[in-house]
Amino acid sequence: MKKIAPPKFALDFLRWYCREDYIEEIEGDLTELFENQLASAPKKANWTFFWLVLRHFRPDFIKPISIPNLFIHQAMFKNHFKIAWRHIFKKKLYSFINITGLGVGMACCILILLYVKHELSYDQYHTNLHSIYRVLHAYKSQGEKGKPTNPEDYQVWGSAPVGPALIKDFPEVESYFRFTSPSNWLFEYEDKRFQEDNIVFADSNAFEMFSWKMIAGDPATALDEPYSIVLTEKVAKKFFGEEDPIGKTLREGETAIKVTGVMENVPANSHFTFDGLVSMSTFRDFRPGIFDSWGYVDFYTYFILQENASIANLKSKTSEFVDRYTGDWEDSDYEITFEPMADAYLHSEAARQPGETGSIANLTIFSSVALFILLIACINFINLSTSRSLERAKEVGIRKVVGARRYTLIGQFLSEFILLSLFAAALAMVLVVLLSPVLQDISGKPISYKSLLVWENLPIATGVILLIGLLAGSYPALLLSRFQPTKVLKGAFKSSGGGIALRKGLVVFQFSLSIALMVGTAVVFSQLQYLRNHDLGFDQEQMVIVDFAWDSEVKRQMDAIKQTYLSNPDVVSIASSRAVPGGFLPNAGTYIEAPDGTKTMYSPTIYEIDQDFISNYKIELAAGRSFSRDFPMDSAQALMINEAAAKMWGYSNPEDIVGKEFDQWGKSGTVIGVVKDFNYKSLHKSVEPLSLRYDPRSLRKFSIKINSKDIPKTIAELEKTWDELVPHRPFLYSFLDDSFNKQYQADNRFGQIFGVFACIAILIACLGLFGLTAYTTSQRTKEIGIRKVLGASVGNIVALLSIGFLKLFFIALLIAIPLSWYVMTRWLEGFAYQVGLRVELFALAGIGTLSIALLTISWQSIKAALANPVKSLKSE
Amino acid sequence: MKEPSLGEFEELVLLTVAAQHDEAYGVSILESLEDQLGKKLNISAIHVALKRMDDKGFVKSRFGGITSDRGGRRKKFYIITALGKRKLDQQYALRTRIYNQIPKISFG
């Protein structure tokens, strides 16, 4: 009969805690009682047994905690450490490769982490961050009415009355705050003048809503009165030096503005920044009408939602809200929605942002690339350690014979790898300190490694070092500790056996990544090159832009200034306009007669220019004529459009739209000409419909086309003339191609960072390859010696050593090409004008990587092939 | 050196060990005591008492032979030592002496 045993878990528990010298008696007695009870009350037997086991869980029977063991461990650790230390210094090359690779990988990760941390820190300093929302507006023309609104159709820029209306209609909205887009101010203080172009009008509750710190003045009332301004620290210092700015009066033309406060500079990690706030009541005084106009767009509206209120609930009520105020709009449609301020920097897709925005996609790409680099470094580590396992085999054998258990050996190897990872971390820290200025340069963000130097990071750093040591070391440690002493010590153990396939796989993986990164870099740079060389449809070479900020004096003397400048032999032509290509343009509701005779409204962008603009920029005409001095009524009754606009109104032939009637922003007349499409915005987008009108009152910037061999001299002459003509206004100039290309700054950065990464990845991969070939060739020195003796040439031997690698390389190529093709196609989708993924790019990246890799291999293989066979064969 | 003391429950266990001379082990002691006292006892109390008396030198132990019962575990037999016997004698004498001092009172 089979005996029923007591419950296993209770028995295991007993055996686990009970002292060795008592287990026999106690377990025996308990089992006997269990068996007795089984006969009388079988149902309760299990429970009784467990209960009795529990009752024995008392100090008398519990195993003593083995303190002496700890001392043994300590001694063992010491020994492990010593062996590891010796090993690291004995094999300097391998240690160097491992430490450098891992260190560079870690440094990359840390730098990227710093960057990511900075990007994620945007606006986090606001205490109200999570209850602040902003209003997004969608202005749709008649044609778009009823179509669903995409996230990117919204814009942050909107009208003034939205805020007050929200407060009035929704009790859950606690307060609202508006500010305008920056305007230019030419301040005068005593005899000094300062041009400031990042001053905004702001509602008086700015400091209640946002956590900006006031240094002087009362934050609650500073922006109440009309004609008061709060300056940031840097501007205040520039204006007043060491004087106390509070109460001082600045003058802008006829207007006097009182300084009522000084605030700390707006932190760099804010999604919008400014240099000063002028009270909104000032703006109301300037232009009272627009504060009730739902159609005048110049405000960013933020609001605080009450606790417990639901934003989703609020969103559901927006359509009836806008209907209440703008339901009478006949020819256009207006929608609003809300966006949490926490999403403003990284997650907003809306247009017309108040400041620059980040890209969560780029952050993801960078982080994954940094991780890949660390992975490549870890792979080096695994590859080198496994390939060299043979060298350690004897050591393992002897240790096992002497009595080491497998887990102590694993512990030994792991502590060696963790020590290496510690060295690597030290190197990484040095690299981070050295390279953080470079990161600042590339990213354009004030990122410092100093934020890493806090105590809280110590456990994290320790954890990461341990983790990387474990990650890189666990496979080699398992492999090494598996050796069987009899085999190893008998000498029957010739090759490192296991791990060859894995090693090859890892090399393929490394090179796939490297090639993919190379392709990525090549595509990014060729795309940027393509953008720079793309024919924009207008002349941007040697174009000097002078900003006079709508100065009325300049506008009055417009023709005289032009004439004076034209008398300079270096000046080819001169024009003025509200904006220059690359700059911001508003949209304007425009009616033009459609082919069927009805007037249809669309909202093309609007370019306000003078009569010389078209010829100055060498923009070609597709039909009709340009603005001209011969037609004095052009400023009132004429409109020019581009081909895209002509198409939008339904004219496939631009000739046909010339002469049609138009109606736009208070002007009406006929369309006089059509220009060919030119890229007045970045090449991320295709040319959008555009209207051009001659409006002498809206002009703001001169565009001076020069033809000069000595540009600095010409600029000096232009400045001298300017100071004579317009002594009250500073000469602020820039070059069009510089400012136009600024639109690609983010893309440039992306390219640079990508390029740096690609180089590092290849460097590390090659380090690994170098170590690997150094090892394999050293394993085969005898073979090479014999081959040479038998007549092999140097070429033969180099080929022999490289052919295995070439196979791996081609497999890597097969993996990398589709991968990078897919990723880069997605990236290029962000541009309307794409360079196209040509075969050359892949070939270039492939050949580049291959030649670097071959160079790395040949260093070792040629050395081996050239070695005198006598040397390698005489010893044995 | 002070002679170790003997607790009340320990004394009962020690008496049982002495009574079952050379045949006393955990379960037999438990059963006998439960029988004598007429109430349920927990084996852990007996184990503790035995362990402490072992430490004090009142009992010594030996293992019995292997059987297929008891999950293959051997019985641990206890036997009283000379010291233990003397202690029992002392306790017995003490009790008797004091008992004899009780005046002859009839409660009838």
Query: Is pLDDT of A64 > 80?
Result: no
- How confident is residue A294, by pLDDT bands cut at 50, 70 and 90? confident
Tokens in use for A523?
């595509």
Q: In Å, how far is B26's CA from the nearest CA of chain A?
A: 6
Burial class (CB in 10 A: 0-12, 13-18, 19+), A161: buried
Residue B19, pLDDT score: 92
Q: What pTM value is reported for the model?
A: 0.71
Q: Of B42, B69, B71, which has the smallest distance from its Cβ to A27's Cβ?
A: B71
Give the number of C-alpha atoms closer than 13 A to the C-alpha of residue A73, restricted to the C-beta side.
8
Residues of A in contact with B75 (CB under 8 A): 25, 28
| A465's tokens | 């070092």
- The whole-number pLDDT of residue A71 equals 62
Confidence of residue A89 (pLDDT cuts 50, 70, 90): confident
Measured between CA atoms, the residue of chain A closest to residue B75 is A25
Q: pLDDT per residue over A190-207, tens digit each?
A: 888 888 888 999 999 999
Interface mutation target, options B44, B67, B69, chain A, most CBs of A under 10 Å: B44
Contact criterion met (CB below 8 Å) for A694 and A646? no
The per-residue pLDDT for range B57-97, each reduced to its tens digit, is 999 998 888 877 787 888 899 999 999 999 999 999 999 99
Residue A674: pLDDT band by 50, 70, 90 thresholds? very high
pLDDT at A302 over 90: yes
A24, B44: Cβ pair inside 8 Å? no
Task: State which residue of chain A sits closest to B69, comparing Cα positions.
Answer: A32
> What digits encode the pLDDT tens for the residues A422-456?
899 999 999 999 988 888 888 778 888 887 777 88
pLDDT at A67 over 80: no
Give me the residue from A22, A24, A30 closest to B74, CB to CB: A24
Cβ distance A28 to B75 less than 8 Å, yes or no, reads yes
Which distant-in-sequence residues (6+ apart) come within 8 Å of A46 by Cβ?
A6, A7, A10
For A767, the token pair is 């380090």
On the question of pLDDT at A70 being above 60, the answer is: no
Q: What is the percent of chain A with per-residue pLDDT over 70, rounded to a whole number?
A: 96
DSSP E strands, A473-578? 543-547, 571-577
Whether residue A161 contacts residue A292, with contact meaning beta carbons closer than 8 Å, is answered with yes
**Integer angstrom CA distances of residue A727 from A191, A686, A719, A724, A730:** 13, 41, 10, 6, 8
CB contact under 8 A, A28 and B51: no
Q: Which residue(s) pair with A176 in the sheet?
A: A303
Contacts of A31 in chain B (CB under 8 A): 69-71, 73
pLDDT for the residue numbered A95:
86
Whether the pLDDT of residue A126 is over 90: the answer is yes
Q: Does residue A341 carry a pLDDT above 90? A: yes
Q: Is B26 in the A-facing interface, judged by CB distances under 8 Å?
A: yes
What residues of A are in contact with residue B63 (Cβ under 8 Å)? 24
**Which residues neighbour A405 within 8 Å (Cβ) at sequence distance 6 or greater?**
none
Instruction: Quick: pLDDT tens for A821-849.
Output: 998 888 888 888 888 788 888 888 888 88
Torsion over CA: A325, A329, A332, A333 (sign): positive
Q: Is the CB of A55 less than 8 angstroms away from the CB of B52?
A: no
Confidence of residue A750 (pLDDT cuts 50, 70, 90): confident
Coil, helix or strand for B38?
coil
Nearest to A94 by CA among A547, A349, A476, A657: A476
Q: Do B25 and A29 touch (CB under 8 A)?
A: yes
User: DSSP 3-state assignment of A592?
Assistant: strand
Cβ of A31 within 8 Å of Cβ of B25? The answer is no
Partner-chain contact B74 A58, CB within 8 Å: no
β-pairing, A192-202 vs A183-189, is antiparallel
**pLDDT tens digit sequence for B20-51:** 988 899 999 999 999 999 998 889 999 999 99
Average pLDDT over residues A404-410: 83
Nearest CB among A27, A33, A61 relative to B73 is that of A27
Lowest mean pLDDT among A284-298, A479-493, A646-660, A720-734: A479-493
pLDDT at A460: 85
| Residue A25 Cα, gap to closest chain B Cα (Å) | 6
CB atoms within 10 A of CB A739: 16
pLDDT confidence band for A209 (50 / 70 / 90):
very high
Contacts A27 to B, Cβ<8 Å: 71, 73
Burial of A726 (0-12, 13-18, 19+ CB in 10 A): middle
Q: What is the pLDDT of residues A17-32, one digit of tens each?
A: 888 888 888 888 888 8
Please report the pLDDT score of residue A1 as a whole number: 44
Is the CB of A25 less than 8 angstroms away from the CB of B47?
yes
Q: What is the per-residue pLDDT for A69? A: 58
Name the least confident of A255-259, A267-271, A346-350, B103-107.
B103-107
Confidence bin at A731 (pLDDT 50/70/90) = confident
- Give the residue, A492 or A514, on which the prediction is more confident: A514
Tell me if A710 sits within 8 A of A678, measured CB to CB.
no
Q: Does A35 touch chain B (CB under 8 A)?
A: yes
Closest Cβ–Cβ partner in A27, A31, A52 for B44: A52
Q: Are A518 and A762 in contact (CB under 8 A)?
A: yes
Q: How far apart are CA A709 and CA A51, in angstroms?
A: 101
A32 touches chain B (CB under 8 A): yes
State yes or no: pLDDT of A2 exceeds 60: no
What burial letters (b/e) apply to A815-837, b meaning 16+ CB within 10 Å? bbbebbbeebeebbeebebbbeb
Lowest average pLDDT, out of A174-188, A383-397, A594-608, goes to: A383-397
Q: Verify whether the Cβ–Cβ distance B76 to A25 is below 8 Å.
A: yes
For chain B, how far is it from start to end, CA to CA, in angstroms? 47
* Dihedral of the alpha carbons of A182, A186, A187, A190, in degrees to the nearest 10: 170
